[in-house]
Amino acid sequence: MAALTDLTIAQAGAGLDKGEFTARELTDAYLGAMEAARGLNAYIEETPERAQAMADASDARRAAGNSAGALDGVPLAIKDLFCTEGALSTAGSHILDGFRPTYESTVTQNLWDAGAVMLGKVNMDEFAMGSANITSHYGPTLNPWKASSGDNAGKDLVPGGSSGGSASAVAARIAAGATGTDTGGSIRQPGAFCGIVGLKPTYGRCSRWGVIAFASSLDQAGPLARTVEDSALMLEAMVSYDPKDSTSVDLPVPNYAAALTGDIRGLRVGVPAEYRMDGTPPEIEALWQRGVDWLRDAGAEIVDISLPHTKYALPAYYIVAPAEASSNLARYDGMRYGLRVDGEDLTETYERTRAEGFGHEVKRRVMIGTYVLSAGYYDAYYLKAQRVRTRIADDFRAAWDSCDVILTPTTPSAAFALGEKQDDPIAMYLNDIFTVPASMAGLPAISVPAGLSSDGLPLGLHLIAPAFGEETLLRAAGVLESAAGFTAQP
Ligand code: GLN
């Protein structure tokens, strides 16, 4: 039999149902694997006792014939942006040192209600700002993959970010699945870099309550998992209508796994001209074309579409997201949670706390954000960016007249080496060139592992669907996954 940690969530659930192993055995296998893989620095805090207690409770439920469903007894990693009661919740920041919330985020509570087991809290870029998991106060997380050739052969690679700990843990088989959050690409890009599936749901589908805020009009929780089916199973448990989040949407929760029919005959797949950007490496273009061929061969109709404002998405994002972040992060003043560095008076205490508590990237965003919101520049930057955002959403709305999903690459490159792009924020921001437009429009999107780069590293293909079109998204992703037949492992 395969190692327990090699099983997908669906396979683990089936094995638990058949009594082939217990949730406790499965959990202990993960706890052992986590210990052996500590060099990846994927976990900020492991919670083995809680995991074992949750696993025992799951076994007791199954023994009594009361299984809570597909996730009952399945061990998961939780991004450190989610508040988890009594467990460290730091957003990867020094300023939240020692913060142990007295409450549980809605999404994680939903997962525990579905019987899932918490293995621990995973590393991330500080306040989810980044694309390489290098801005964490807890140090970088490594990608379990290594390049087999090329300039980066044998070097330590980044897992992508900001949900780098989540993606690394799932790829390294030290979690069966993980929660992530995506503001501009932070589930999909690390998913692609680590050779796993990353799904960002429609804005409003998962509650943001108890998720430490970065940019509230963009933040969305979602699953990282090894298969499309696993993503569907996790998503179904994570989604709920939550009156505690005013942007939560009250719609029925579909059986997402049932959407994986494998049948996309007649589905119209849009290929946006504006995503053919100068400087995109030929192997990314080639992978994209293979994706088009796979979907066409499966019976989809390929449609050329235009999303004219695509090139403005990234610049507009880097105004809107920092603006919201500067406001959201104003609460970290040393008075309520985490770090406090005392000064001579109150003002100096604020200043010292924030100076020591925030890292460089967070400070850069706070400064950009306060600048674009300041009286003299508000119209020129913030308001203009909001107008651009509306245009981007309009582009997609028009596109849905002629297509049902949109296919693009997930990232312009495979995972890069630790240390690369570190001193060049613009190069780092360009990682999200293909993922940010869907974020600006609030649309659901998914990255599916689709092939290997010439250096032997995973590459992803990206599908975008209309708002609340997760079922169509998953159906198309399932077909892409089967066609790609990606079985490589780190
Ligand atoms: N890399 C992007 C940023 O730094 C997106 C991050 C995210 O989605 N949380 O803002």
The per-residue pLDDT for range 31-61, each reduced to its tens digit, is 999 999 999 999 999 999 999 999 999 999 9
Ligand 1 centroid to 121 CA: how many Å? 19
Q: What's the fold here for domain 4-265+415-484?
A: Amidase signature (AS) enzymes (3.90.1300)
Q: Which residues contact 171 (CB under 8 A, 6 or more apart)?
A: 143, 144, 145, 159, 194, 195, 196, 226, 489, 490
- Mean pLDDT value of segment 174-201: 98
pLDDT at 240 over 80: yes
SS3 211: strand
Maximum Cα interatomic distance, the chain, rounded to a whole number of Å: 70
Q: Mean pLDDT over residues 157-164, rounded?
A: 97
Mean pLDDT, rounded, for 202-229: 98
pLDDT tens for 316-369 read 999 999 999 999 999 999 998 899 999 999 999 999 999 999 999 999 999 999
Helix (H), strand (E) at residue 271: strand 268-272
Three-state DSSP state, 79: strand
Q: From CA 260, how far away is CA 471, in angstroms rounded?
A: 8
Give residue 7 CA to ligand 1 midpoint distance, Å: 30
- DSSP, collapsed to helix, strand or coil, labels residue 272 as strand
Across 404-423, average pLDDT: 95
- What pLDDT, in 10s, does the model give residues 14-36? 999 999 999 999 999 999 999 99
Q: Which two tokens stand for residue 329?
A: 């992060």
Give this prediction's pTM. 0.98
Angle at 50 between CA 490 and CA 119, to 5 degrees: 10
- Substitution candidate for ligand 1 out of 432, 434, 439, 440 with most atoms within 8 A of CB: 432
Kindly indicate the confidence band of residue 278, based on its pLDDT and cuts at 50, 70 and 90: confident
Give catalytic status of residue 136 as yes or no: no
* Residue 196 near residue 167 (C-beta atoms within 8 A): yes
How many Cβ atoms from other residues are within 10 Å of residue 127's Cβ?
A: 31
Indicate if the pLDDT at residue 1 is higher than 90: no
Tell whether omega for the bond before 162 is within 30 degrees of 0, i.e. cis: yes
Residue whose tokens read 């090329």: 150
Q: Alpha-carbon distance 382 to 406, whole Å?
A: 28
Q: CA nearest 434: which of 72, 115, 131, 148? A: 131
With 80 as the cut, is the pLDDT of residue 2 above it?
no
Token duo for residue 375? 């009286």
Rounded distance, CA 350 to CA 365, Å?
18
Amino acid, res. 209 = W
What pLDDT shows up at residue 221?
Answer: 98
User: In 10 A of CB 21, how many CB atoms?
Assistant: 17
Query: What pLDDT, on the 0 to 100 scale, is given for residue 104?
Result: 98
Nearest CA to 359 out of 135, 158, 162 is that of: 135
pLDDT for 460-488, tens place per residue?
Answer: 999 999 999 999 999 999 999 999 999 99
For 110-144, what is each residue's pLDDT tens digit? 999 999 999 999 999 999 999 999 999 999 999 99
Cα separation of 405 and 242, whole Å?
28
3-state secondary structure 281-338: CHHHHHHHHHHHHHHHHCCCEEEEECCCCHHHHHHHHHHHHHHHHHHHHHHCCCCCCC
pLDDT of residue 423: 85
With a CB cutoff of 8 Å and minimum separation 6, the contacts of 31 are: 46, 48, 51, 52, 119
Active site residue 200: no
Q: Say how many Å lie between the CA of residue 57 and the centre of ligand 1.
A: 37
pLDDT for the residue 182: 98
Closest ligand 1 atom to residue 361 Cα is 4
Given 136, 166, 186, 447, which residue is catalytic? 186
Q: Is 244 exposed, middle or buried (0-12, 13-18, 19+ CB in 10 A)?
A: exposed
Would you call 374 a catalytic residue per the annotation? no
Q: What's the mean pLDDT in 136-163?
A: 97
Contact present, 249 and 242 (Cβ < 8 Å): no
| Residue in 89, 131, 136, 162 annotated catalytic | 162
What b/e sequence results for 213-241 when a residue is b if at least 16 CB atoms lie within 10 Å of its CB, and e otherwise?
bbbbbbbbbbbbbbbbbbbbbbbbbbbbe
Instruction: Supply the mean pLDDT for the chain.
Output: 97
Predicted confidence at residue 425, as pLDDT, reads 86
Residues lining ligand 1, judged by CB closer than 6 Å?
Answer: 128-131, 162, 182-186, 214, 321, 432
Mutate which of 80, 93, 127, 131 to test ligand 1's pocket (most atoms within 8 Å of Cβ)?
A: 131
- Whether 279 has a pLDDT exceeding 90, the answer reads no
Q: How far apart (Å, rounded) are the C-alpha atoms in residues 263 and 343?
A: 64
Phi and psi of 279, rounded to 5°? 90, -5
The residue-averaged pLDDT of 446-453 equals 98
Question: Which parts of 18-171 fold into alpha helices (H)?
Answer: 23-36, 48-63, 106-113, 164-171
For the chain, the domains span 4-265+415-484
Residue 263 tokens, joined:
């049948």
